[in-house]
Amino acid sequence: MTSKAAELGRQVRTQAGHVRGQQRDASGVLAFKGIPYAAPPVGPYRWRAPQPPVPWTGVRDALSFGAGCLSSLANDPRPGPRAEDCLTLNVWTAAKQADEKRPVMVWVHGGGFQFGSSATPATNGNPLAEKGVVVVSFNYRLGIFGFLAHPELDAEAPSGNYGLQDQLAALRWVQANIAAFGGDPDNVTLFGESAGAMAVGILMASPLAHGMFHKAIGESGAFWDGRHGPLQNFQEARARGVAFARQQGDASIAALRAMPAELLNAAAPWSFERDHVVAAFSPSIDRRVVPDVPARRFLLAKQMHIPLLAGWNSAEEFPFMARSLPAQSAQAFRNAAAAMFGTERLAEFLEIYAAGSDAQAKASVAALTGDMVVGEQCWQWLRLHRASTRAPVYGYHFNYTSPYTPIASHVTEIPFVFGTLTPQQVIGSTAPPAEADRALAQTIMSYWVNFAMRGDPNGSGLPFWPAYDENDIVQILGTAIEPRPNPQADRFGFLGSFRQNGALPIRWRDVP
């Protein structure tokens, strides 16, 4: 005689204690918010690997989002409380029984590893959970709290990538606890956008992440490299940390740990004018979490051999133009391109990024910025993964525009992926979504959920999406939804030709 499976209700037992979530909503989704997945990283735990959550007695309310991690973005306008004690996660599930083993989708938020949180309205997990998956989102340490490297810290343990270690801790929590929420710990898809997608790519290349997730989705990011070359190496990251300590009066790590969090954060601000890859506290090669340039790990087939779905938007450059090559004139652009790519390849460059007039140069500057910050590394991710694994790979190009989304900018696909269709604030759009927007959201959500379920986005009623192969065909997600040749292949191929053993030139560090 088989026993009836336990009914899943508002109260769930995790390894650290019981939590009480919100009542099922009209769509049947339970939401649990603000669950600690690690101990507060404060006091002596500042700049240490995340520790297990502190157990509690009784039933802990999980009714509201935890505080977001402290933001390094100067004058960050995003709402919500922030604190150093921020390592919490959220779960959305429509499972009725605890043993349903629904696919799990774990979201990593973007923000250049400098800002952002899991409480953004656009990434509410409810609509995705309605489609049969369990959705998890979480906060992770940012800026100086997440990515300070320093020789004194190395004496304790390899330093620098605490924010990435937080992500690994959240994945460990999922492995240990998600079954109680009706999820399947053996079918976890890690997905993210911008820095979140870059984290997915980095973790795919990390030996510490093996077995923690089984599929990957990357939206507008991959390896954390670009305009000024590869991510910071071991020595560069430590030099940045030592320089910061010197600026604080040759402070020791003990003294920096004693600094109030708000003062410490204010001493390490970041703005969009600075390259967050090499001019901020951000992921670096620490020889443990990140053992090498991530693209090189893919080139050598040392990454996780799992299904991958990844792509980019047609106007990725929109938030990043402050870091473009000079655009005041065609001649200034040509001179900057010669300094960056070499005079011997300038003619080839200008065939792809035309600069015959100031207007042409302005358009090419925008295209080049989006390609270097986001697009080319996404393309490399698809190519390198396909070449080194038998796991299925799917590529997309999001070019959808409408009154609701007048520019297919960086981040504009997120409300479609989550089905939230919140205002497109990054591009300043205030138009409400229309029926065409809602239809596209349903299509994209179905693709993502199908991929999370079985590693293939295709399904009944959806336009066919072919696997990515040597023909460089990507699925266009726009007014038309269909496979087409990569529209930026020539541009990406030119930029990719500068990679040596997976890495972009270190000399690009010095190009203004």
Kind of pairing between the strands at 183-193 and 473-477: unpaired
In degrees and rounded to multiples of 5, residue 227 shows phi and psi of -50, -40
Beta partners for residue 35, in sequence order: 89
Tokens of 70: 């402290």
250-275 core/surface letters (b: 16 or more CB in 10 A; e: else): ebebeebbeeebeebbeebbbeeeeb
DSSP element (H, E) containing 490: helix 489-496
Cβ pair 508, 227 in contact under 8 A: yes
Q: Determine whether 410 is an active site residue.
A: yes
429-443 core/surface letters (b: 16 or more CB in 10 A; e: else): beeebeeebeebbbb
Burial class of residue 53, CB neighbours in 10 A (0-12, 13-18, 19+): buried
| Widest Cα–Cα separation across the chain | 81
Distance from C-alpha of 469 to C-alpha of 386, rounded to nearest angstrom: 7
> Which one-letter DSSP state was computed for residue 136?
E
CA distances from 290 to 226, 380, 402 (A): 17, 18, 40
Among the residues of 259-314, which ranges form H helices?
261-266, 294-299
Tokens of 239: 């030099």
Q: Which of 109, 276, 385, 410 is catalytic?
A: 410
> Which one-letter DSSP state was computed for residue 179?
G
Q: Determine whether 316 is an active site residue.
A: yes
**Degrees to nearest 5, angle at CA 268 with 262 and 269:** 90
124-141 core/surface letters (b: 16 or more CB in 10 A; e: else): bbbbbbbbbbbbbbbbbb
SS3 content of the chain, % helix, strand, coil (to 5): 35, 15, 45
> Which one-letter DSSP state was computed for residue 131?
T
Q: Which of 20, 72, 16 is nearest to 40 (CA)?
A: 16
Cβ pair 467, 231 in contact under 8 A: no
Please report, for the chain, how many H helices and E strands are present, in that order: 16, 13
Tokens of 401: 């525009």
Q: Which of 252, 490, 450 is nearest to 348 (CA)?
A: 490
Q: Which of 194, 220, 364, 446 is catalytic?
A: 194
Q: Determine whether 194 is an active site residue.
A: yes
Q: Which of 219, 316, 317, 376 is catalytic?
A: 316
- Residues serving a catalytic function are 194, 316, 410
